[in-house]
C-alpha cells in the first residue's frame, strides 16, 4: 500500500523518539567483549582494552573449541601497527567463540583481519567461512594482499543468552584466522524497527528491520574528513565521500563551528557523531533561478540483496527555519518529496536521519541523489546531505554472503577422519574377500553332498512365538 511520504516520516519520527528517549549521552554497553586473538597479552587500541584469548592466561576467554587452533605472531610488525594486528588465531578445523549475552537485542560484531606473513604461515592463503548465531556472514572468504587491516562489521539480533561466532576452513587442507573480535551491545536507538521501502516510484512501510542481520558496507562523512573511532562514541570509522560523489559545479562543501543540537526523536551521538553533522555538501541557488541539478553518490553493491540506506541530515546551512525544501532519490526513484527538516526538528543544527530499504539497480549500484523540489526557494539552500550509510541485509536463507544457509555450510565440513578411515575399510574388505573365497573352496565339496541328501523344508509352524523372537535376537547379535 502506497502511503504519503510526510505521514510516513512522522510515524518514523515518533518511533525514533521512543527509542531515543532510552539512550544516554554517554554510551556504556552492557556487553562489551574486546578480544586480542592469538595473543597471550592484552592490547590497547584507541584507549580500548582488548583482552587475550589464551585460556591459560585469561580464564574467562570466550574461546571454546581450542583444538587444532594455533596462536600466531608477526615477527616483523609495522612500526605503527596497532598491537591487535600483530597476532592472529589460526583455525585448522571448525572452531567457535561463545560470548555470554546479558543484554538481549541488537549487537555489533566486528571481525578484524590483517594477513601478515610469518615463518610458519602466510595468512594471505587463508580460505574459510564465518557464521554468527546462525547467519552466514562470510562464505569462501579470503584476505589477500591488503595494505591496511580489514574490519567487517555486522548487526545481529540476539534473543538468547549467547552469541556464537563459528570459523570453518572451506576444506580440510585450508585454514581460517582472525586478529581481533568485538561483540558490543548496540545503542537502543541505533537500529530502528521501521524504515521506508522504496519500490519503483512507490513507498511503503518496512517493519522488522531490527530482526534482520546487517553488514555495514559504507559509512561516509559527506563533505568532511575521515572520522576515526577515537572521535565516535560507538568506535566507528567514517570515510570521506570523495570516491563516491559525482562532481557537480553547483554543489559546495560547508563546515559548521557551532554546537550540534541533539534532541530526543532525532539522531543521537550514537547514531552519528558531531564530526559528521558539522560538515555537509549543499546545492544552492545564487540568483533568482533554482538549480536544475542534483547531487549524486554511487555505491557499488552485490545484486540479489536488499540494502538499508541511512541518510543523515542536519541543517547547518540555512539562516532561519522554513527555507530548506528538497527531494531525495534512490536509484532514480523519488524516495522523499519536499523534505522539510524544519517541520521535523523545529530548530537549526539539529540532526535527523531517515532509513530506506532498496534493491540494487541492474548494474549493482545503489545511487543516492539530493536536489531541489517544487517547493525550493531562490537564493536559498536547495539540498543538503551530511552522511550516508549503506548496509546489506540478509537474504531469504539467512546469508550475507552467498546463497548457502548455515546448515549447508556446516554440513559441508567432512565428518570423521576420512583420510585414515578409507584405506582401513579397503584393507578390511580385502581380507574378508580372501577369507570368503578360501572358505568356499574348503567347504564346496561337502556342501554339494549335503544338497543331495537333505530335502528342503519350510520353517516349522508349531514353534512358539517366544522361540522365534529368541532366535531372531540371537541371529541379529551374531550378525
The CATH superfamily label for domain 32-186+407-411 reads Galactose-binding lectin (2.60.120.430)
Can you give the residue ranges of every domain in the chain?
5-23+214-393, 32-186+407-411, 428-478
5-23+214-393 fold: Jelly Rolls (2.60.120)
Q: List Cβ neighbours of 444 (8 Å cut-off, separation of 6 or more).
A: none
pLDDT tier at 294 (50, 70, 90 boundaries)?
Answer: very high
pLDDT tens profile 413-441: 876 543 433 343 344 334 434 443 444 44
- Asked whether the domain spanning 32-186+407-411 has the same topology as the one spanning 5-23+214-393, the reply is yes
Residues 393-422, mean pLDDT to the nearest whole number: 80
Contact between 220 and 297 under an 8 Å Cβ cutoff? The reply is yes
Q: List Cβ neighbours of 205 (8 Å cut-off, separation of 6 or more).
A: 3, 8, 11, 194, 195, 196, 197
**Predicted model pTM:** 0.81
* pLDDT for position 145: 85
Q: List Cβ neighbours of 207 (8 Å cut-off, separation of 6 or more).
A: 193, 194
pLDDT tens profile 185-217: 999 999 999 999 999 889 999 999 999 999 999
Residue 31: closest CA among 145, 186, 143, 170: 186
pLDDT tier at 333 (50, 70, 90 boundaries)?
Answer: very high
* pLDDT for position 460: 35
pLDDT tens profile 344-388: 999 999 999 999 999 988 889 999 999 999 999 988 899 999 999
Amino acid at each position: 500500500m502506497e502511503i504519503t511520504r510526510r505521514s510516513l516520516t512522522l510515524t518514523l519520527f515518533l518511533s525514533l523518539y521512543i527509542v531515543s528517549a532510552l539512550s544516554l549521552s554517554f554510551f556504556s554497553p552492557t556487553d562489551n567483549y574486546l578480544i586480542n586473538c592469538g595473543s597471550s597479552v592484552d592490547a590497547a587500541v584507541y584507549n580500548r582494552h582488548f583482552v587475550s584469548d589464551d585460556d591459560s592466561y585469561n580464564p574467562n576467554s570466550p574461546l571454546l573449541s581450542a583444538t587444532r587452533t594455533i596462536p600466531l605472531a608477526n615477527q616483523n610488525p609495522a612500526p605503527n601497527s596497532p598491537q591487535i594486528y600483530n597476532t592472529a588465531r589460526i583455525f585448522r578445523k571448525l572452531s567457535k567463540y561463545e560470548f555470554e549475552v546479558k543484554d538481549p537485542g541488537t549487537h555489533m560484531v566486528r571481525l578484524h583481519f590483517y594477513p601478515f606473513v610469518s615463518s610458519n604461515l602466510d595468512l594471505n592463503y587463508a580460505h574459510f567461512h564465518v557464521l554468527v548465531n546462525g547467519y552466514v556472514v562470510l562464505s569462501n572468504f579470503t584476505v589477500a594482499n591488503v595494505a591496511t587491516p580489514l574490519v567487517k562489521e555486522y548487526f545481529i539480533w540476539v534473543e538468547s543468552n549467547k552469541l556464537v561466532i563459528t570459523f570453518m576452513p572451506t576444506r580440510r587442507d585450508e585454514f581460517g584466522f582472525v586478529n581481533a573480535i568485538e561483540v558490543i551491545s548496540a545503542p537502543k536507538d541505533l537500529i530502528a524497527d521501521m524504515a521506508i521501502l522504496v519500490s519503483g516510484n512507490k513507498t511503503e512501510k518496512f517493519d522488522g528491520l531490527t530482526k534482520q542481520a546487517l553488514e555495514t558496507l559504507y559509512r561516509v562523512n559527506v563533505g568532511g574528513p575521515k572520522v576515526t573511532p577515537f572521535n565516535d562514541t560507538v568506535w566507528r570509522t567514517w570515510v570521506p565521500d570523495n570516491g563516491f560523489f559525482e562532481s557537480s559545479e553547483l554543489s559546495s562543501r560547508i563546515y559548521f563551528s557551532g554546537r550540534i543540537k541533539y534532541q530526543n526523536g532525532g539522531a543521537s551521538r550514537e547514531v552519528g557523531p558531531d564530526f559528521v553533522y558539522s560538515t555537509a555538501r549543499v546545492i544552492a541557488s545564487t540568483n533568482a533561478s533554482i538549480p536544475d541539478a542534483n547531487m549524486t553518490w554511487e555505491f557499488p553493491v552485490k545484486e540479489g540483496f536488499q540494502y538499508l540506506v541511512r541518510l543523515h541530515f542536519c541543517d547547518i546551512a540555512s539562516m532561519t527555519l522554513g527555507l530548506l525544501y528538497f527531494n531525495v532519490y534512490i536509484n532514480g526513484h523519488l524516495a522523499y518529496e519536499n523534505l522539510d527538516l524544519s517541520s521535523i526538528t523545529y530548530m537549526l543544527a539539529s540532526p535527523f536521519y531517515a532509513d530506506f530499504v532498496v534493491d540494487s539497480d541492474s548494474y549493482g549500484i545503489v545511487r543516492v541523489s539530493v536536489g531541489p523540489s517544487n517547493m525550493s526557494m531562490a537564493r536559498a539552500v536547495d539540498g543538503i546531505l551530511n552522511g550516508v550509510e549503506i548496509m546489506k541485509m540478509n537474504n531469504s536463507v539467512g546469508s550475507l554472503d552467498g546463497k548457502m544457509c548455515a546448515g549447508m555450510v556446516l554440513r559441508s565440513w567432512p565428518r570423521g577422519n576420512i583420510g585414515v578411515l578409507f584405506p582401513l575399510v579397503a584393507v578390511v574388505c580385502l581380507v574378508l574377500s580372501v577369507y570368503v573365497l578360501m572358505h568356499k573352496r574348503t567347504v564346496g565339496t561337502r556342501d554339494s553332498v549335503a544338497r543331495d541328501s537333505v530335502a528342503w523344508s519350510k520353517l516349522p509352524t508349531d514353534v512358539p512365538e517366544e522361540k522365534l523372537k529368541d532366535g531372531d535376537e540371537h541371529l541379529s547379535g551374531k550378525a
